[in-house]
Amino acid sequence: MNKALTGFVRGSRAIGAVALVTALGLTSPGVLATTGDYMERDDVRAFIDEAVAETGAPREDVERWIASAEYQQKIIDAITRPAESKTWGEYRPIFLTEKRIEQGVAFARDHADLLEEIERTYGVPREIITAIVGVETFYGRITGGYRVIDALATLGFDYPRRGEFFRGQLIDFIRLVDEEGLDIDRAKGSYAGAVGMPQFIPSSYRHYAVDGDGDGRRDLWDSQEDIFASVANYFVEHGWGQGEPVMMRVEINDADVDDLLNTGRDLKPKTSLSELRERGVTVPDDAPVPDDFEVMLFTLTDGDDVEYHVGFNNFYVITRYNHSVLYATAVWQLAQAVAAGLEADREVGG
Sheet containing 294-302: which strands, arranged edge to edge? 247-250, 305-311, 294-302, 271-272
Q: Which residues contact 137 (CB under 8 A, 6 or more apart)?
A: 143, 144, 196, 197, 198, 199
H-helix segments, 56-111: 59-68, 73-79, 88-95, 98-110
Crossing angle of helices 42-55/148-158, nearest 10°?
Answer: 120
The strand pair at 146-147 and 188-189 is best described as antiparallel
How many Å apart are CA 116 and CA 107, to the nearest integer? 13
- Run of H or E including 302: strand 294-302
8: Cβ–Cβ under 8 A, 6 or more apart, which residues? 101, 336, 337, 340
Strand partners, 311: 247, 296
Give catalytic status of residue 136 as yes or no. yes
Q: Is 69 helix (H, G, I), strand (E, B) or coil?
A: coil
Q: How crowded is residue 42: how many other Cβ atoms within 10 Å of its Cβ?
A: 8
Name the catalytic one among 119, 136, 225, 307.
136
d(CA 66, CA 70): 9
How far apart are alpha carbons 213 and 276 in whole angstroms?
A: 46
Q: How far is CA 110 from CA 78, 116, 126, in A?
A: 33, 11, 12
Q: Report the Cα 73 to chain-centroid distance in Å.
A: 23
Catalytic residues: 136
